[in-house]
Amino acid sequence: MPDTSKVTPPADGAPITRDGDRLVVPDNPIVPFIEGDGTGPDIWRASVRVFDAAVAKAFDGARRVAWLEILAGEKAKAKTDEWLPEASIDAVRTYKVAIKGPLTTPVGGGIRSLNVTLRQILDLYACIRPVRYFDGTPAPVRHPERMNVVIFRENTEDVYAGIEWAQGTDEARKVIEFLEREMGRTIRPDSGIGIKPISITGSKRLVRMALRYAQANSRKALTLVHKGNIMKFTEGAFRDWGYEVATEEFRDAVVTEAETWDGASADGKILVNDRIADSVFQQVLTRTADYDMFATPNLNGDYLSDACAAQVGGLGMAPGANIGDEIGFFEATHGTAPKYADKDVINPSSVILSGTMMFRHLGWGDAADRIETAVERTIQQKKVTYDLARQMDGATKLRTSEYADAIISNM
């Protein structure tokens, strides 16, 4: 058992355990949370009330979450002099499911990004972003309701592997000379260098997780997104390995687009196709309803997730999760929005809807459904925070805390 001595688990909770691939969730699971920096505390205070109300209503008081605060970010730095204490990481490993608000990216001080660090040390290899429209949300397109996709973005490699050297350093010079000498490739001497690794392991496990999700959630199609026409051995290979997983490991459940051209039926099967990244960005606008799930390498997924979220009403609404084989970490997709800190005005929906993903992950779908229905009802009533109010006619602008009250009363 890891040392969680610096965090005291709640006496009225029990740990989530694993039985092979399956999570075993008690009626009072201990769930660690990181409140987050900047607007994080306002968001968390509102979100936790919504979570507790939904669970109480969904299960008539028979279940409840035993929340366990763990420290990261500015609060951790102030209390422990560390940005990401080992005890917090151990607690997430121990309890297997956690949720967090946004964290500041420390400037200087040797830490690249707390979010990226957490994903790497906990091997949270898939970033999952469901994007759907909540009726009534102001959106920049005419038919936002046509968007209902789940994006699986590879989280550990690609240009995010962090292998890069600044222009003018010895390391950059060595790499440039090596490429010239050993590979016969010329690079301008005044270049910075970044390396883009994409592996069989990273690609296949991501696509495997996406297809399992497709099966469990009765999704209809999975599109592999890549820039393989230009980057054949990284992005193109991601596509090829994706098809390999689909046709070798999920043969009875899938049909590829090419097989349908040869007459195979897609009835009752998950259609697997692929699209080049630039075309996907126009397709999600022009043929929105044709797309159901995406699996993408890291950088493309980063762009595509935010573009899709913007199409249905923006980042304040978009939930996300980082998932590995052992751990599920649910999180806000926006930053800390520090200028609104402690003003009780920020939109908490991103964390609230990440909580619905968490409840589904725990098998507590009834609580998730209640929250989603109540959020939608609240927005339809035009009871919204400032960010949505400024785009709507006749809206009632609510504080963060009042918005949580409105959601709870709509449950």
Radius of gyration of the chain (CA): 22
| 190 included as an active-site residue | no
In the bound state with ligand NAP, the residue whose beta carbon lies nearer, of 276 and 318, is 318
Judge whether 50 and 378 are in contact, CB under 8 Å: no
| 227 included as an active-site residue | yes
Binding site for ligand NAP (CB under 6 A): 102-105, 115, 315-316, 331-332, 334-338, 346-347, 350, 387
Rounded (10°) angle between helices 400-409 and 365-380 = 110
d(CA 161, CA 389): 39
Identity of the residue numbered 46: A
Residue 302: CB minimum distance to ligand NAP, A: 11
| 302 included as an active-site residue | yes
In the bound state with ligand NAP, the residue whose beta carbon lies nearer, of 50 and 276, is 50
In the bound state with ligand NAP, the residue whose beta carbon lies nearer, of 71 and 207, is 71
Q: Given 3, 27, 278, 342, which residue is catalytic?
A: 278
Residue 351: CB minimum distance to ligand NAP, A: 8
Residue 37: CB minimum distance to ligand NAP, A: 7
| 160 included as an active-site residue | yes
Q: Given 95, 125, 160, 243, which residue is catalytic?
A: 160
Residue 186: CB minimum distance to ligand NAP, A: 36
The region that residue 263 occupies, defined by phi over 0 for left and psi between -120 and 50 for alpha, beta otherwise, is left
DSSP string for 332-380? ESS---GGGTTSS-S--HHHHHHHHHHHHHHT-HHHHHHHHHHHHHHHH
| b/e code 193-220 from CB counts within 10 Å (16+ = b) | beebebbeebbbbbbbbbbebbeeeebe
Judge whether 122 and 368 are in contact, CB under 8 Å: no
**Residue nearest to ligand NAP according to CB distances in the complex:** 335
Q: Given 42, 274, 302, 344, which residue is catalytic?
A: 302
In the bound state with ligand NAP, the residue whose beta carbon lies nearer, of 15 and 338, is 338
Residue 363: CB minimum distance to ligand NAP, A: 26
In the bound state with ligand NAP, the residue whose beta carbon lies nearer, of 11 and 107, is 107
List active site positions.
160, 227, 278, 302
